[in-house]
């Protein structure tokens, strides 16, 4: 705890950062300086995600050198630039990125202001002193959050959605990044929680709030939240920073709705920041701002450069400025999924090959080895014994030879049968290859070998 000489607001804080129960590497980083707190959740292969989050918080700490909200945004943008530069200059770091959620004590005229900057799906929550209700201040930049804001997913559906790790905004993707900013009045007794998704994906907000109310010491509460996340699986890295407002000019009893979503550019132009009432549940209203294209990367998905938005765009109204981008993204996503499904269907339905099942030669439909979620299936099991297949045809089986129609596959088996009969006649062996006639056409649902002895044929 300490006090900036120009401020009346003081804090106490605690933190915990844990690798979790599954991951080998902790790609989260936290920052706890007096008056500047942050959580960053890195993504990218090898050590890249760890580097991205470390560089982000390190740059934020170094470059947030003037205590005002503008400079907090600039410091986050500089952190983005540094991650982008490292990724560009080092092949090992290509594709890395990180979220960041930061809380800073700033000054506006002669008032203390808490500024919250956010990019990605790490979160800042507020446990209000007067009500002890937990409210999410930030908005997630993720696909499911976008769909939830549009009313296409419920909160419960979003919380368990298999694609909840797809981000629509992150640091490190493009040289320009849109930074969400909120300004809040410091109120004595308020408790802030900054955390990565490793916490709230494992522990519901009710239990998080309960811990925050029950444990007065920030370090104790942070440790307990990490323990609960691990108890529920700990499938991701877990970062928690808890910041208590110990002293503030405003005491408990301040009017609710003190959270202001800042349309920062308008403020720069001289207009007052837009005052936004708190939405039910406490966070600033949904805007869908900046949500755009997504792509996969590492163990979670990251945005593409298409999501990059210049700093000057922050001056525009967040609700309307990106509506077309969200729509374009969803249309593109549907088109990609539809195109993929169609391509897989075409490939699987239009490919046949011959292999064996239960000691018999069989005709399979589908790409040998399968394609994405589709596996080949047996459409006909013949009476041709696998042991009778001539050695010079053995490599044709299992996908060594493929056909574009069922008729071609049938013709191949007929030829195979003829070859076997010819060999039998020449060697005087009448036992093999005698039962093919009439055997074709008996479609079955036999499951193919788990690991076909084939190679993938495009
Ligand atoms: Mg995470």
- The DSSP result for 427-452, as a single string, is HT--STT---TT-TT----PPPPSS-
Q: In whole angstroms, give the CA distance from residue 108 to residue 9.
A: 13
- Quote the pLDDT of residue 17: 98
Kindly give the distance from the C-alpha atom of residue 98 to the centroid of ligand 1, in angstroms, as a whole number. Answer: 9
Angle at 51 between CA 16 and CA 118, to 5 degrees: 65
pTM for the whole thing? 0.60
Q: Using the mean position of ligand 1's atoms as its centre, give its distance from the Cα of residue 12 in Å.
A: 25
121 pLDDT more than 60: yes
CB under 5 Å of ion ligand 1: residues: 41, 196-198, 236
Distance (angstroms) between ligand 1 centre and the Cα of 378 equals 42
Segment among 145-154, 194-203, 298-307, 345-354 with least mean pLDDT: 298-307
Give strand pairing partners of 100: 119
pLDDT score recorded for residue 110: 86
Most confident by average pLDDT, 50-64, 276-290, 326-340: 50-64
Cross-strand pairs, 98? 42, 171
Residue 433 Cα to ligand 1 midpoint, Å, equals 60
Give 116 Cα–ligand 1 centroid separation in angstroms.
19
Exposure of 153 in the CB half-sphere (CA atoms within 13 A):
18
Where does residue 206 rank: exposed (0-12), middle (13-18), buried (19+ CB within 10 A)? exposed
pLDDT surpassing 60 at residue 76: yes
Q: Are 67 and 107 in contact (CB under 8 A)?
A: yes
Rounded to the nearest whole angstrom, what is the distance from the C-alpha of residue 18 to the centroid of ligand 1? 11
CA–centroid distance, residue 342 to ligand 1 (Å): 33
State the residue for tokens 């001289």: 270
Q: How far apart are CA 255 and CA 197, in angstroms?
A: 30
As a whole number, mean pLDDT of residues 222-239 equals 98
Q: pLDDT confidence of 204, banded at 50, 70, 90?
A: very high
Query: Does residue 285 register a pLDDT over 70?
Result: no
Q: Is the pLDDT of residue 169 over 80?
A: yes
Per-residue pLDDT tens over the stretch 2-21: 344 467 899 999 999 999 99
Does residue 317 contact residue 266 with C-beta atoms inside 8 Å?
no
Question: Residue 84 and residue 96: Cα distance in Å, rounded?
Answer: 8
Q: Which helix (H) or strand (E) holds 3?
A: none
- Whether the pLDDT of residue 96 is over 50: the answer is yes
What was the pLDDT predicted at 300?
59
Higher pLDDT, 381 or 29: 29
């Amino acid at each position: 705890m300490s006090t900036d000489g120009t401020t009346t607001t003081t804090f106490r804080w605690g933190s915990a950062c844990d690798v979790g129960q599954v991951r080998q590497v902790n790609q989260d980083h936290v920052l706890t300086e007096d008056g500047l707190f942050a959580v960053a959740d890195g993504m990218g292969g090898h050590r890249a995600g760890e580097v991205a989050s470390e560089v982000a918080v390190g740059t934020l700490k170094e470059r947030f050198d003037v205590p005002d909200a503008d400079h907090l945004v600039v410091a986050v943008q500089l952190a983005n630039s540094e991650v982008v530069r490292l990724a560009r200059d080092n092949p090992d770091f290509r594709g890395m990125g990180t979220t960041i959620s930061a809380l800073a004590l700033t000054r506006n005229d002669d008032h203390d202001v808490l500024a919250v900057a956010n990019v990605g799906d790490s979160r800042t929550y507020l446990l209000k002193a007067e009500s002890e209700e937990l409210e999410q201040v930030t908005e997630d930049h993720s696909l499911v959050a976008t769909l939830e804001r549009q009313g296409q997913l419920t909160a419960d559906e979003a919380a368990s959605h298999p694609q909840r790790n797809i981000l629509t905004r992150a640091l490190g993707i493009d040289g320009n990044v849109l930074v969400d900013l909120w300004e809040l009045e410091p109120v004595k007794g308020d408790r802030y929680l900054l955390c990565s998704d490793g916490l709230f994906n494992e522990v519901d907000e009710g239990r998080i709030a309960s811990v925050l109310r029950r444990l007065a010491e920030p370090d104790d509460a942070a440790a307990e939240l990490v323990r609960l996340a691990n108890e529920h699986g700990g499938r991701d890295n877990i970062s928690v920073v808890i910041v208590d407002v110990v002293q503030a000019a405003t005491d408990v009893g301040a009017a609710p709705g003190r959270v202001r979503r800042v349309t920062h550019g308008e403020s720069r132009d001289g207009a007052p920041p837009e005052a936004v009432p708190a939405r039910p549940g406490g966070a600033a209203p949904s805007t869908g701002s900046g949500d755009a294209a997504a792509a996969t990367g590492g163990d979670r998905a990251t945005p593409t450069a298409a999501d990059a938005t210049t700093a000057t765009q922050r001056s525009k109204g967040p609700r309307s400025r990106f509506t077309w981008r969200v729509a374009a993204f969803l249309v593109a996503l549907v088109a990609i999924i539809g195109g993929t499904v169609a391509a897989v269907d075409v490939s699987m339905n239009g490919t046949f090959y011959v292999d064996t099942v239960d000691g018999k030669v069989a005709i399979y439909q589908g790409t040998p080895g399968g394609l994405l979620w589709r596996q080949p299936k047996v459409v006909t099991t013949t009476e041709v014994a696998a042991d009778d297949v001539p050695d010079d045809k053995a490599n044709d089986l299992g996908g060594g030879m493929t056909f574009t129609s069922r008729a071609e596959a049938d013709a191949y088996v007929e030829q195979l049968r003829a070859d076997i009969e010819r060999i039998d006649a020449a060697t005087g062996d009448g036992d093999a290859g005698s039962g093919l006639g009439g055997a074709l056409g008996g479609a079955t649902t036999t499951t193919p070998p788990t690991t076909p002895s084939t190679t993938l044929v495009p």
